[in-house]
């Protein structure tokens, strides 16, 4: 099974098995296989421009005895009762859809080949243009924009990292163009990152 298939399967299993009360943290390709060890805590926030239901995703990884690790993950949502049923399903579906889209999967698999300034042409109808490197919450990231040849009215602003301790892109912002202007539709952002060796 290749990296892309494992990511899709991992995301699908997490979403189906954990449902509303579980974690939405579907890791990047081979995250646990390449995890360097030690303890980490990551907290992400998800916002959706239309639904206005913020979510916080927390994942803690701790070593125990004999090379065994404990993983604790949870999702916290806030919204009116009439928003939650449809909103949670839609929020989960959006996150799953963006992280497992062919262009994003391919980009995450090739993250070690991405230069801080340059262009990566993706066979999956996409083109990633990076415009620099920065430190974001202690994580070195490459900033860039993923554009789609078949949908010029959508773009993804991404922070990519080669840091093997970070399970998801530190920033993923989906922007759609309406009336000539791009506006934010969906945002996944790393809010806290703690690493102990």
From first to last of its 197 residues, the chain has per-residue pLDDT tens of 444 444 443 343 344 334 433 334 445 667 888 899 999 999 999 988 766 677 888 999 999 999 899 999 888 887 777 777 666 777 777 887 888 788 888 888 889 899 999 999 887 688 999 999 999 999 999 999 999 988 999 999 999 999 999 999 999 999 999 999 999 989 999 999 999 87
Per-residue model confidence (pLDDT) at position 79: 76
pLDDT value for 50: 66
pLDDT score recorded for residue 8: 42
pLDDT of residue 136: 97
Put residue 132 in one of left, alpha, beta given phi > 0 → left and psi -120 to 50 → alpha.
Answer: left
- Looking at residue 80, what is its pLDDT? 77
- What pLDDT does residue 51 have? 66
Nearest to 137 by CA among 162, 97, 107, 170: 170
Handedness of CA 7, 24, 163, 187 (dihedral sign): positive
Total domains present in the chain? 1
Q: What's the pLDDT score for residue 65?
A: 93
Q: What is the pLDDT of residue 19?
A: 42
Q: What is the pLDDT of residue 89?
A: 72
Which domain, by its residues, includes 109? 3-196
- pTM beyond 0.85, yes or no: no
The pLDDT of residue 75 is 84
One-character DSSP codes across 23-81: ----PSTTTTTT---SEEEEEEEEEETTT---EEEEEEEEE-STT-EEEEEEEEE---H
Angle at 46 between CA 77 and CA 51, to 5 degrees: 70
Residue 109's pLDDT is 87
Q: Is the dihedral of CA 110, 191, 74, 24 positive or negative?
A: negative
Determine whether 131 is exposed, middle or buried from the number of CB atoms within 10 Å of its CB (0-12, 13-18, 19+): exposed
Q: How far apart are the C-alpha atoms of 149 and 145, rounded to whole Å?
A: 13
Provide the 3-class DSSP secondary structure of residue 111: helix
């Amino acid at each position: 099974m290749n990296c892309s298939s494992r990511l899709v399967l991992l995301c699908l299993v997490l979403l189906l098995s954990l449902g509303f009360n579980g974690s939405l943290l579907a890791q990047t390709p081979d995250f646990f296989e390449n995890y360097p060890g030690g303890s980490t805590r990551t907290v992400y926030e998800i916002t959706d421009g239309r639904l206005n239901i913020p979510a916080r995703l927390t994942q803690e990884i701790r070593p125990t005895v004999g090379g065994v690790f404990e993983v604790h993950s949870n999702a916290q949502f806030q919204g009116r009762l009439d928003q939650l049923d449809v909103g949670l399903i839609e929020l989960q579906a959006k996150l799953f859809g963006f992280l497992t889209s062919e262009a994003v999967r391919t980009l995450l698999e090739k993250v070690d080949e991405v230069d801080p300034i340059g262009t990566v042409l993706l066979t999956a109808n996409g083109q990633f243009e990076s415009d620099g490197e920065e430190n974001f919450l202690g994580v070195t990231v490459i900033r860039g924009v993923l554009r789609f040849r078949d949908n010029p009215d959508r773009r993804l602003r991404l922070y990519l990292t080669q840091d093997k301790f970070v399970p998801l892109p530190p920033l993923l912002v989906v922007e759609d163009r309406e009336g000539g202007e791009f506006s934010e539709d969906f945002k996944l952002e790393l809010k806290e990152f703690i690493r102990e060796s």
